[in-house]
Amino acid sequence: MLKKLFLVVFCVLISSKTLQADNYVIANYKTRFIEEKGGNPFQRQSPCSTFKIPLAIIGFQENYLLDNNAPVCDYKEGYTNWIPIWEQSFTPFTWMQKSCVWYSQEIIAKPYGQERLQQFVENFKYGNMDASGTNENYDYSFSWLNSSLQISPREQINFLFKLLDRGYGATENIYQKVENIIPQEDLINGWVLHGKTGTSYFWNEDGSWDKRKQMGWYIGWIEKYRQKYVFAYAINEMDTDPNLSAGLTAKQRIKEKLEAFILKWNL
The residue length of the chain stands at 267
Catalytic residue among 46, 49, 99, 148: 49
End-to-end, the C-alpha distance of the chain in Å comes to: 47
Count of domains for the chain: 1
Q: Is residue 75 part of a domain?
A: yes
Among the ranges given (29-38, 123-132, 205-214), the one the predictor scored with the smallest mean pLDDT: 205-214
Q: Is residue 6 part of a domain?
A: no
Range of the domain at 185: 22-264
Mean pLDDT of all residues in 177-200? 98
Q: Is residue 20 scored above 50 in pLDDT?
A: no
Q: Is residue 4 scored above 50 in pLDDT?
A: no
Give the neighbor-by-neighbor strand order of the sheet with 227-239: 34-38, 22-28, 227-239, 209-224, 192-203, 184-186
Mean pLDDT of all residues in 58-80? 97
Q: Cα separation of 210 and 202, whole Å?
A: 5
Mean pLDDT of all residues in 115-132? 96
Backbone dihedral angles phi then psi of residue 147, each to the nearest 5 degrees: -130, -135
Radius of gyration of the chain (CA): 19
Q: Is residue 7 part of a domain?
A: no
- The domain that holds 26 is classified in CATH as 3.40.710.10
Among the ranges given (95-109, 149-163, 180-194, 240-254), the one the predictor scored with the smallest mean pLDDT: 240-254
Q: b/e for 113-130, b at 16 or more Cβ within 10 A?
A: ebeebbebbeebebbebb
Model confidence band, residue 64 (pLDDT cutoffs 50, 70, 90)? very high
Q: Is residue 12 part of a domain?
A: no
- On average, the pLDDT of the chain sits at 91
∠ CA 163-133-17 to the nearest 5 degrees?
A: 75
Active site residue 15: no
